[in-house]
């Protein structure tokens, strides 16, 4: 059973041996901070103080982590004065960190530095033998950037990157806002229509009358309605601000999509950009038609365009999946 809390943001602990890979630990922590966030990468800096309860210290460290990177250099296993591997020593904190991580089923990523090789299960203590079966990633100074990129992508399969978490929040914000705007506008439309149910068929007649008037207004600006004063079923289904409520969300949502499109995987980015353009062009079309069509029908026109724009944005955003690059 893992000791991590599923509600935590996903922290990564770097396990290393000071006399073997301290330089790499510091450099790797800085590099991975750019992928996963500065506060999500941590390592021991001060070490374990004398007299501390070793088991409690290791448990406390790993309780903060959701994954462990094990840096393996040429002297990682080390040699005791007696000639044996110090990993088997109960006082070796590197061996104990790996042991605890294995016991708790945490994702572990062995990283081989420079020309180091992965120890075989026979070369490791029995409690650490499962480590030899894990896939290791080699990281070298000459290919540092590409190696770290590869490592980060592998880790992101278990631990979401900073970009993934940010895109997830943006996706949730935009989707929830659009859904709320559609719901509120639809509820207002129904509520306003119900207020004019003078007869059992009154609402249907009124909606049909509005649709007919809208059609006439679009194709014949000079159309007149001599019976308008005597029509008791004439109503304003939505006020101007109610019909444009959806665009209050669509416009900033489109801006957010444009700004963050570069963070999305190239194969899915087109869908996200399409959603952004749909929102921008929909808002522009609503403004143009609002300006050129008779004001009597402006609310219905804006609402109709909004009901085409928002669902289409939803569909395109879903196709993009907000998958980070």
Token readout for 13 is 């602990």
Separation of alpha carbons 322 and 167, rounded Å: 6
Q: pLDDT, tens digit, for every residue of 143-176?
A: 999 999 899 888 877 777 666 777 888 888 998 9
CB-based contact 67:151 (threshold 8 Å): no
Separation of alpha carbons 16 and 262, rounded Å: 35
Does the structure show a pLDDT above 80 at 28? yes
Q: What Rg value do the Cα atoms of the chain yield, rounded?
A: 31
**Do both 75 and 178 map to the same domain?**
no
Of 100, 128, 160, which residue constitutes the final position of a domain? 160
Q: What is the pLDDT of residue 294?
A: 52
Using DSSP, state whether 46 is helix, strand or coil.
coil
**Do both 115 and 182 map to the same domain?**
no
Share of the chain above pLDDT 70, in %: 74
Pairing relation of β-strands 137-139 and 108-113?
parallel
- Residue at 7 is within a domain: no
**Of 164, 174, 171, 168, whose CA–CA distance to 37 is shortest?**
164
Given pLDDT bands bounded at 50, 70 and 90, which one contains residue 229? very low
Does the structure show a pLDDT above 70 at 235? no
- Residue at 223 is within a domain: yes
Does the structure show a pLDDT above 50 at 322? yes
Q: Return phi, psi of residue 178, to 5°.
A: -65, -45
Given pLDDT bands bounded at 50, 70 and 90, which one contains residue 1? very low
**Do both 103 and 175 map to the same domain?**
no
Given pLDDT bands bounded at 50, 70 and 90, which one contains residue 11? confident
pTM above 0.75, yes or no: no
**Of 17, 107, 22, whose CA–CA distance to 69 is shortest?**
107
Of 100, 127, 160, which residue constitutes the final position of a domain? 160
CB-based contact 276:250 (threshold 8 Å): no
- Residue at 5 is within a domain: no
Question: For residue 123, what are the domain limits?
Answer: 12-160
Given pLDDT bands bounded at 50, 70 and 90, which one contains residue 108? very high
Mean pLDDT (whole number) for 67-93: 78
CATH number of the domain to which 117 belongs = 3.40.50.10140
Separation of alpha carbons 212 and 214, rounded Å: 5
- Alpha helices (H) in 156-265, listed in sequence order: 162-194, 202-219, 240-243, 245-260
Separation of alpha carbons 254 and 305, rounded Å: 15
Q: What is the pLDDT of residue 59?
A: 76
Q: What is the pLDDT of residue 222?
A: 47
Separation of alpha carbons 96 and 274, rounded Å: 52
- Residue at 3 is within a domain: no
Q: How many domains does the structure of the chain reveal?
A: 2
Q: What is the pLDDT of residue 5?
A: 36
Token readout for 89 is 């020593």
Does the structure show a pLDDT above 80 at 268? yes
Average pLDDT, the chain: 77
Separation of alpha carbons 301 and 283, rounded Å: 12
**Do both 88 and 169 map to the same domain?**
no
Mean pLDDT (whole number) for 182-192: 83
What are the beta bridge partners of residue 138?
Answer: 112
Mean pLDDT (whole number) for 201-229: 46
DSSP state of 120: P
Using DSSP, state whether 278 is helix, strand or coil.
helix
């Amino acid at each position: 059973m893992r000791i991590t809390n599923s509600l935590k943001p996903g922290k990564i602990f770097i396990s290393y041996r000071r006399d073997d890979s301290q330089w790499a630990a510091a450099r790797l922590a800085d590099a991975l901070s750019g992928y996963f966030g500065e506060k999500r990468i941590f390592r021991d800096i001060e070490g374990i103080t004398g007299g501390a309860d070793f088991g409690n210290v290791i448990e406390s460290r790993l309780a903060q982590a959701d994954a462990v990177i094990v840096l393996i250099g040429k002297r990682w296993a080390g040699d005791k004065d007696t000639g044996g591997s110090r990993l088997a020593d109960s006082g070796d904190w590197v061996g104990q960190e790996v042991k605890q991580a294995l016991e708790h089923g945490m994702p572990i990523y062995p990283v081989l530095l420079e020309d180091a090789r992965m120890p075989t299960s026979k070369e490791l203590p029995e409690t650490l033998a499962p480590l030899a079966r894990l896939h290791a990633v080699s990281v070298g100074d000459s290919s540092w950037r590409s190696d770290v990129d590869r490592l980060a992508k592998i880790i992101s399969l278990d631990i979401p990157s900073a970009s993934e978490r940010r895109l997830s929040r943006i996706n949730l914000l935009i989707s929830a806002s659009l859904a709320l705007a559609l719901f509120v506008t639809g509820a207002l439309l129904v509520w306003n229509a119900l207020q004019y149910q003078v007869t059992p068929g009154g609402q249907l007649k009124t909606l049909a009358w509005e649709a007919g008037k809208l059609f006439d207004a679009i194709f014949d600006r000079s159309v007149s309605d001599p019976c308008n004063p005597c029509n008791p079923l004439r109503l304003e289904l939505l006020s101007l601000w109610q019909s444009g409520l959806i665009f209050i969300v669509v416009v900033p949502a489109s801006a957010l999509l444009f700004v963050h499109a570069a963070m999305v995987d190239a194969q899915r980015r087109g869908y996200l950009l399409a959603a952004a353009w749909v929102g921008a062009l929909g808002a522009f079309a609503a403004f143009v038609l609002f300006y050129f069509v008779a004001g009597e029908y402006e609310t219905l026109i804006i609402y109709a365009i909004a009901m085409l724009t928002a669902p289409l944005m939803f569909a395109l955003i879903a196709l993009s999946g907000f998958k980070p690059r």
